[in-house]
């Protein structure tokens, strides 16, 4: 194998390692978001969401770099997969390391996808409970005040007060 091929494979491995590290940072970020939501810490949640955006920008840049390296390794395909590159490259310590990194990246991003889905479900669930709890306040079943400004009847109880959350 040529020296440039070895160097390209090394750069590819470094890019994948960086993607895995960013994936771990994103998992940590989701965990912090979940904790902030459950603790009703809105300012912390906003900070975590903002830092997630920065992580996603970094991930986009690393992914572009990885794709450029991959396309240099395989002139035949515009965007070859790592699996295709490995199948065309003679086995070596480098290719087995790339295979290990490929599997670790797949596991990390599969977990990240599942965690994002779970966090979204949690937020939707909480939002539904909040809407249910506050609906009597938004749409009272009775007029709260009469013509003279005096209380016009009993106020419907809130789901929040009844402990429906």
- By the 8 A CB rule, do 151 and 144 touch? yes
Q: What is the mean pLDDT of each run of 10 residues along the chain (165 residues)?
A: 82 96 97 94 95 97 93 72 78 88 96 96 92 79 59 52 50
Through-space distance between the first and last CA atoms of the chain, rounded to whole angstroms:
63
What distance in Å separates the CA atoms of residue 81 and residue 11, rounded to the nearest whole number? 15
DSSP state of 151: B
Radius of gyration of the chain (CA): 26
- Show the CA angle centred on residue 43, arms to residues 39 and 46, nearest 5°: 105
Given this model, what pLDDT does residue 3 score? 82
What distance in Å separates the CA atoms of residue 96 and residue 102, rounded to the nearest whole number? 10
pTM of the model: 0.75
Among 109, 114, 162, 95, smallest CA distance to 135 is for 162
Given this model, what pLDDT does residue 165 score? 45
CB-hemisphere CA count at 13 Å for 160? 10
Among 110, 104, 74, smallest CA distance to 13 is for 104
């Amino acid at each position: 194998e040529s020296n440039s091929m070895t160097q390209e494979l090394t750069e590819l491995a470094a890019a994948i390692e960086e993607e895995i590290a960013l994936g771990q940072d994103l998992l940590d970020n989701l965990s912090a978001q979940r904790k902030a939501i459950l603790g009703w810490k809105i300012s912390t949640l906003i900070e975590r969401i903002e830092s997630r955006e920065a992580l996603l920008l970094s991930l986009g840049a690393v992914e572009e770099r990885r794709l450029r390296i991959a396309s240099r390794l395989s002139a035949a395909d515009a965007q070859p997969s790592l699996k295709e590159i490995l199948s065309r490259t003679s086995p070596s310590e480098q290719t087995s390391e790339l295979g290990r990194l490929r599997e670790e990246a797949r596991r990390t991003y599969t977990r990240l996808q599942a965690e994002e889905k779970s966090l979204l479900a949690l937020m939707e669930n909480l939002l539904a409970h909040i809407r249910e709890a506050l609906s009597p306040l938004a749409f009272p079943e009775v007029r709260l005040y009469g013509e003279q400004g005096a209380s016009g009847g009993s106020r419907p109880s809130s789901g929040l007060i009844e402990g429906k959350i």
